[in-house]
Chain A
């Protein structure tokens, strides 16, 4: 199956700092990548849809100026959490779209903001 990597796998940062998460499709080209957030014991929440070479489409309630998404190539998308606060602590997961809208998920990045 298709492989998606994420880096870092976990990060601890101080409140007010920015954190960048990378998502790479290793063996396929993902025209579309998705960013999700998942709080403990809750389901996946779509944050934004990212298409290569164009601006990301954010879901309602997700601040685009706080969660900056860049999809510069068919294999790389980045999510930057700017001025992170403790309430941003969560499990961030990206996915790349394959044939027939199948999504392949990265392993996730666990963010803890102190």
Chain B
């Protein structure tokens, strides 16, 4: 079973619509959750981080976390063609014995925003 799962898409939405990206994870002990955006040929850039249940809003982006359901989502309001990219969901695995961590990335969801 994959540790972080995303629908690979492509997800196609018209300009101005809301894009909804979803992600599930398997490790109940995870405490840190991230959404990264990756344009083709570029490295990922951080969009949102979320650590507690509920919603977190930043501009047009809203991250939602439900730890009981092991589910995290990203909503993009007023989608723009420039939002067309691959969105990576990421979840941290903490190693309590060492205090170290590593991040597990989903395979990403490709989003196309049509003008």
User: Residues of A at under 8 Å CB distance from B?
Assistant: 1, 32, 34, 42-44, 46, 49, 51, 57, 93, 97, 100-108
Contact = CB atoms under 8 A, between A and B. Distances in A.
B102 A34 contact: yes
17 contacts: A32-B100, A43-B88, A43-B107, A43-B108, A44-B105, A46-B105, A100-B32, A101-B32, A101-B101, A102-B46, A103-B34, A103-B90, A105-B36, A105-B43, A105-B46, A107-B42, A108-B43
Interface residues of B, number: 22
Nearest to A106: B43
Interface of B: 32, 34, 36, 42-46, 49, 51, 88, 90, 92, 94, 100-103, 105-108
A104 B44 CA distance: 8
Given A43-B88, A43-B108, A44-B88, A103 B43 contact: no
A105 B90 CA distance: 13
